[in-house]
């Protein structure tokens, strides 16, 4: 009785009973042996010839009679520890011609039939690299998969930075749970979206990744940090980030999207504390196993012209062959930080209802100090050269986030306005136009320092050409203009009406899974 044997053929010059070996340099030699060959139906003395299909990256060894005229391979034998094993030695240039520089292949033997194919992993690596190179050569926009899209702050910044480097991009698939955030991005970021873009309003866990999933060139996103940040862990009484009931397992879905869309480049951002989570350890391990090279660093928004001292962990995963020379050391700020907060403040009347006593915060500060909690109030005059981090729920008036002190009454305070919040984060005002002030603070509070990711996008774009200078992109071939991304609120008046066509929107209910 014969069975089936599958193995991964490891490139090595040391063959043993459980591996096949391929000799590099000159003619390729492959040896594989052992009882598994007998189990697969090979018999000592059988003859085989090779039939190759380079396009399919496949070799098949076909059994032939002893009278066959042509190149053949004979199953020989080897004795070990008194046991005779079948041994098959392949020497053929066709192996290298078909599989090029692949380090591993898949060998299947069944009923005496031998089929050698490329590993799916190697095929996907080649596919994403080839796709990216061809788009750069043709001057095409790169397709972006945007997860946890929010109001599009991060993607708009990456898009702007790529344009500085001469590379166009668009959101091919965007996923966001909150309808108001997604609507704002579709309305305020027309340069990001095309008529054929897919906008998905859903919990990422409810989106099915079965079927023909659009392949992307870049995947962006920040896995929600509510379980990893210091405030989130304290508020939810979590021992570790993965314990959070809604966000704890989202890294799993994030990785599923990476595998399904096969991007050449992955951009991940999160709070610095996320670096030490089990989630991040798994993300690193899986991305490396998928053939990516990782670069990671904690960046401070104040180094990129922001008044907000917002630190974020940034990871760039790229495919070797393009982007190899990406370096955080090459990031270039394009904005000079204001000397003080006063320079970005709106004129708010002294009798405006925005000024409030916030008595409960003063009382809470006293209690926190008495119990040893390090939740100090952040009350500012405007003369300061920066402020601390502003989070998603800033509109609630929380104790650790910045308040402005009334110029004449020290017992009154106010929050930053929508425009002021955007300015301390260097976010263009247009991003939050047309939404409530509460939603605007939410969008910006859980986003990024815009100028920081503009610089990251630029470095990603430039790094593509440091190792691929023979494939230049003509700036003239790009239909978008960086200026439209940093202009004021009236910039949409100058856009071609055709560019304002909205993409299709898919909404996924809480009890239904849905394929794109």
What pLDDT, on the 0 to 100 scale, is given for residue 295? 97
Please compute Rg for the chain using Cα positions.
29
What pLDDT, on the 0 to 100 scale, is given for residue 16? 35
Report phi then psi at 429, rounded to 5: -60, -30
Tokens of 244: 């959070």
Distances in Å between the Cα of 237 and the Cα atoms of 226, 281, 461 are: 11, 22, 41
String of DSSP letters for 13-71: S--BTTB-EEE-SSS-EEEEESHHHHHTT--TT-EEEEEEETTTTEEEEEEE-TT--S-
* Cα Dmax for the chain: 105
**C-alpha–C-alpha distance, residues 432 and 472, integer Å:** 35
> What is the pTM for the complete model shown?
0.81
The pLDDT tens digits of the residues spanning 286-310 come to 999 999 999 999 999 999 999 999 9
DSSP β-ladder status, 293-300 and 265-270: unpaired
User: What are the residue boundaries of the structural domains of the chain, listed by start?
Assistant: 4-118, 125-339+429-433+442-515, 347-416
**Residue 30 designated active-site:** no
**C-alpha–C-alpha distance, residues 29 and 52, integer Å:** 16
Q: Which helix (H) or strand (E) element contains residue 219?
A: strand 218-221
Report phi then psi at 462, rounded to 5: -65, -35
Tokens of 329: 């050391």
**Sign (positive or negative) of CA dihedral 265, 269, 274, 279:** negative
What pLDDT, on the 0 to 100 scale, is given for residue 409? 97
* CB 292 within 8 Å of CB 218: no
Pick one of 1.20.1300.10, 3.30.420.40, 3.40.50.720, 3.40.50.150 as the CATH number of 125-339+429-433+442-515: 3.40.50.150
The pLDDT tens digits of the residues spanning 384-394 come to 999 999 999 99
* CB 458 within 8 Å of CB 332: yes
The tokens 């320079």 sit on which residue? 343
**C-alpha–C-alpha distance, residues 170 and 168, integer Å:** 7
**C-alpha–C-alpha distance, residues 72 and 62, integer Å:** 9
**C-alpha–C-alpha distance, residues 130 and 141, integer Å:** 15
Per DSSP, what are the bridge partners of residue 5?
109
- Show pLDDT as tens, one digit a residue, over the chain (516 residues): 455 555 544 433 233 333 344 444 455 667 778 888 888 888 999 999 989 898 888 889 999 998 898 888 899 999 888 889 899 888 777 878 888 777 777 888 888 888 888 888 888 999 999 999 999 999 999 999 999 999 999 999 999 999 999 999 999 999 999 999 999 999 999 999 999 999 999 999 999 999 899 999 999 999 986 654 455 555 545 455 545 455 668 999 999 999 999 999 999 999 999 999 999 999 999 999 999 999 999 999 999 999 999 999 999 999 998 888 999 999 999 999 999 999 999 999 999 999 999 988 887 777 777 776 666 788 999 999 999 999 999 999 988 899 999 999 999 999 999 999 999 999 999 999 999 999 999 999 999 999 999 999 999 999 999 854 444 333 343 334 444 444 333 333 333 333 334 455 555 433 233 333
Among 379, 376, 396, smallest CA distance to 387 is for: 379
Marked catalytic residue, from 7, 30, 201, 225: 225
* CB 288 within 8 Å of CB 294: yes
Distances in Å between the Cα of 81 and the Cα atoms of 40, 78, 84, 85, 121 are: 22, 10, 8, 10, 37
**C-alpha–C-alpha distance, residues 490 and 453, integer Å:** 23
How many CB atoms are closer than 10 A to CB 376? 12
């Amino acid at each position: 009785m014969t069975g089936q044997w599958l193995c991964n053929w490891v490139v090595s010059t040391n063959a043993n009973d459980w591996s096949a070996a391929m000799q590099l340099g000159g003619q390729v030699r492959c040896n594989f042996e052992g009882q598994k060959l007998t189990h697969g139906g090979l018999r000592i003395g059988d003859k085989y010839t090779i039939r190759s299909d380079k396009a399919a990256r496949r070799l098949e060894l076909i059994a032939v009679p002893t009278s066959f005229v042509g190149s053949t391979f004979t199953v020989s034998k080897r004795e070990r520890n008194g046991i005779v094993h079948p041994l098959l030695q392949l020497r053929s240039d066709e192996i290298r011609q078909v599989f090029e520089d692949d380090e591993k292949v898949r060998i299947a033997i069944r009923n005496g039939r031998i089929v050698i194919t490329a590993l799916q992993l190697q095929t996907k690596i080649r596919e994403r690299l080839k796709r990216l190179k061809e788009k750069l050569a043709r001057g095409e926009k790169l397709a972006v998969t945007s997860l946890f899209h929010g109001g599009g702050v991060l993607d708009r910044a990456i898009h702007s930075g790529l344009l500085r480097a001469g590379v166009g991009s668009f959101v091919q698939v965007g996923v966001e749970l909150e309808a108001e955030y997604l609507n704002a991005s579709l309305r305020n970021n027309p340069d990001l979206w095309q008529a054929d873009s897919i906008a998905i309003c859903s919990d990422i866990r409810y989106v099915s990744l079965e079927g023909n999933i659009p392949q992307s060139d870049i995947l962006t996103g920040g896995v929600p940090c509510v379980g990893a940040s210091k405030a989130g862990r304290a508020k939810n009484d979590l021992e570790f980030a993965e314990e959070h009931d809604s966000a704890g397992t989202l890294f799993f879905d994030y990785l599923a999207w990476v595998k399904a869309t096969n991007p050449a480049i992955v951009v991940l951002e999160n709070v610095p504390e996320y670096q030490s989570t089990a989630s991040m350890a798994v993300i690193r391990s899986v991305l490396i196993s998928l053939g990516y090279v990782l670069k990671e660093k904690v960046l401070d928004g104040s180094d990129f012209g922001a008044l907000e001292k917002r630190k974020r962990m940034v990871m760039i995963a790229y495919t070797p062959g393009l982007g190899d020379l990406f370096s955080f050391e090459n990031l270039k700020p394009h904005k000079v930080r204001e000397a003080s907060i006063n320079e970005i403040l709106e004129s708010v009347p002294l009798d405006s209802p925005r000024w409030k006593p916030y008595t409960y915060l003063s009382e809470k500060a006293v209690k926190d100090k008495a119990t040893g909690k390090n939740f100090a109030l952040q009350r500012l005059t405007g003369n300061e050269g920066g402020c601390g981090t502003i989070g998603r729920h800033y509109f609630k008036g929380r104790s650790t986030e910045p308040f402005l002190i009334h110029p004449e009454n020290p017992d009154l305070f106010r929050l930053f306005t929508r425009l002021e919040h955007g300015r301390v984060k260097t976010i263009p005002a247009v991003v939050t136009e047309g939404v409530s002030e509460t939603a605007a603070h939410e969008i910006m509070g859980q986003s990024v320092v815009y100028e920081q990711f503009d610089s990251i996008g630029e470095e990603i774009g430039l790094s593509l050409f440091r190792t691929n200078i023979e494939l230049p992109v003509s700036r003239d071939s790009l239909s978008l203009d960086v200026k439209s991304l940093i202009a004021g609120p009236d910039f949409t008046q100058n856009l071609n009406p055709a560019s304002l066509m909205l993409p299709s929107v898919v909404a996924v209910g809480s009890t239904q899974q849905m394929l794109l």
